[in-house]
Amino acid sequence: MTLKVRNEALYGVGVLSYIVSIIPFIGINLFKALILIPILAYNLPIMEYLQPKAMVLKLGKKEILLAILAGIPYLFFLNFFAIVPVFLLLLTFFLYYKKNTMMGTVMGTTFVASLSIFWAYSVHAFFVPAIFWTFYIFAGALFVEYKIPYRKLKKNDVIFTWILILIILLILSMKFDYLLLLALIEPSIRFLLPGDKLKSMKELPELGKRGAKRDLLFVALLIVFSLAKLVV
């Protein structure tokens, strides 16, 4: 029997979020890092199942039970930074409740990425790359929504959001790791010059493929510059 993956973006963000959480791979709590792998492996299918139901708030006993089962393992990893994904998850549900599916989807994607902050602090307390990743995914999700022809998002919404993110990350990097700013060059070009909307929804899969490749590049750069910081 083969497992059919429907939401490739979710799995991609989830796996890359785990990789980001263990950067720079040195000095981490190996036991906790390894334990997170099976937790992630069974969390992602649950998230995939729950996401469309959460969008319309059709959560019955089965869905609530699955959500509880997905969250229980994290009780053994509790730290202050759990507040970030918890807040984003609650915000996602609030937006869905308000029928704002677009921003609910953006925040839901950001929630998955923000788990990297929680995981990072759990395994070695080096969470700056995870913060970069979370902001990057938020901007990327907003960028994709802007590109959809029928969305009311404007080009300036993407541009101003990224400028604000750049300011935040600039301040953060000056204190912790200025080399990580180099990873922001490609995303800055993309988000400050977002171009026109797609002409057709048929172009969306290709946009997704290009985005996935850029996500890989961004993570690779986070790894390179985080390791470089150790020797500079």
CA dist., res. 184 & res. 172, Å (int)? 13
On average, the pLDDT of the chain sits at: 91
The pLDDT assigned to 126 comes to: 81
The pLDDT assigned to 79 comes to: 87
Tokens of 112: 């998955």
Q: What is the DSSP letter of 100?
A: -
Q: What residues of the chain score a pLDDT lower than 70? A: 1-6, 125, 232
Q: What is the pTM of this model?
A: 0.93
- Dihedral in degrees, nearest 10, Cα atoms 35, 36, 39, 45: -150
The pLDDT assigned to 4 comes to: 54
The pLDDT assigned to 1 comes to: 35
Contact between residue 24 and residue 130 where contact means Cβ atoms under 8 Å apart: no
CA dist., res. 52 & res. 163, Å (int)? 31
